[in-house]
DNA sequence: ATTGAAAGGAATTCGCG
DNA sequence: CGCGAATTCCTTTCAAT
């Protein structure tokens, strides 16, 4: 798939807001009939624009009230050390996001836990035990000012 | 809704992975018939466990290849200054996430742009113009090691 | 609180402009 | 590329348990 037209971009905007909209309703919002609408959606999926459809939960409701941002520095920076760190992070369910950064710190992690006690256990029993790990700096998230999952779709 | 049973938790797990699953398929994965499955899903929605269903896009495909993590300090910390900052952030489409933190920096932002040039414009024309703003420190995201949107559902 | 049947809609296919 | 009709499948309701 090469270039998105206006209709494709509108589909992405609508589905980013509501993934469970029916094809019929989607088509009516586009001013199209259902068959071409469905075909466009399928094409956006198969060409990798849409990677999935997910339910969004309220973390507090599922007992994940503590959010932390954690700056991590490795104690060495060989290819293998970084690879090993990546693989370790992959297996830690508490880590929702992890970015490799330029600057003083190597990585920043977003970690969710039930409470601060569980976070402490996570650090002591899991994070601090990674042998590539240098030092960490934890910051408590006092409030989530913004957390949008919708990418702005540019005109081209 | 008071407490989730095992079936409810499994529903949340499945829908976090695939929001467009049919009710029929969902019910068969649960070992239930469709009607009670549907009722449980509706209840999870109305009681706030599920806040929405969204399509997940590939940011690179929609021309958002540059990701930055930005530490922000305000130059004053009155109630109004913080409120004003919140409201301003709300209107910046480039800011996907913003957390109010403990520690040296007040906030951390995740910002997505087409490229570094667009990021520079964002900083100069939008972020730096907020009059509550003290100083910022930008870090380029070299790679996204992990970005999961699925919360781990605890046993209780 | 779950089941099975039944009615009403929606998804999907296909032939055609 | 999009449309409209037709078929198949799913959703949703309801009586029964």
Q: For residue A33, which nucleotide's C1' is closest to its Cα? A: D3
The minimum CA-CA distance between B100 and chain A, rounded to whole Å, is 5
Q: Would you say A44 and A1 are in contact if contact means Cβ atoms under 8 Å apart? A: yes
Q: Which of A5, A55, A121, A122 to mutate to test the interface with B (most CBs of B within 10 A)?
A: A55
- Which tokens belong to B70? 């930005």
- Which tokens belong to A148? 């949008």
pLDDT tens for each residue of B103-115: 987 999 999 999 9
User: What's the average model confidence in pLDDT over A5-13?
Assistant: 97
Q: Across the interface, do B58 and A51 touch by the CB < 8 Å criterion?
A: yes
Residues of chain B below pLDDT 70: 156
- B150 chain-A contacts, CB cut-off 8 A: 54
Q: What are the DSSP E strand ranges found in chain B? A: 50-57, 66-74, 95-101, 107-113, 133-147
Domains and CATH numbers, chain B: 6-46 (1.10.10.10), 66-140 (3.30.70.920)
Q: Which residue lies nearest C9, CA-to-C1' measured?
A: A24
pLDDT tens for each residue of A60-109: 999 999 999 999 999 999 999 999 999 999 999 999 999 999 998 799 99
Residue A146: the pLDDT is 98
- Which tokens belong to A15? 């589905």
Report, in angstroms and rounded to the nearest whole number, the Rg of chain B calculated over CA atoms.
20
- DSSP label at B128? G
Furthest CA-CA distance within chain B:
58
Q: For residue A22, which nucleotide's C1' is closest to its Cα? A: C10
pLDDT tens for each residue of A24-74: 999 999 999 999 999 999 999 999 999 999 999 999 999 999 999 999 999
Hey, which residues does A99 pair with through a beta bridge?
A108, B144
């Amino acid at each position: 798939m090469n270039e998105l037209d206006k209709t494709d971009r509108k589909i992405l905007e609508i589905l980013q807001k509501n993934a469970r909209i029916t094809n019929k309703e989607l088509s009516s919002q586009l001013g199209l009939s259902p068959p071409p609408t469905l075909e466009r959606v399928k094409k956006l999926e198969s060409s990798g624009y849409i990677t999935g459809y997910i339910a969004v939960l309220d973390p507090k409701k599922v007992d994940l009230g503590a959010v932390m941002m954690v700056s991590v520095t490795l104690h060495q920076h060989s290819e293998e050390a970084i690879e090993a760190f990546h693989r370790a992070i992959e297996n830690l369910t508490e880590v929702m996001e992890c970015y490799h950064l330029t600057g003083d710190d190597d990585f920043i992690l977003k970690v969710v836990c039930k409470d601060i006690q569980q976070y402490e256990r996570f650090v002591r029993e899991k994070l601090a035990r990674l042998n590539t790990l240098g030092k960490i700096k934890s910051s408590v998230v006092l409030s989530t000012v913004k957390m949008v999952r919708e990418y702005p779709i540019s005109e081209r």
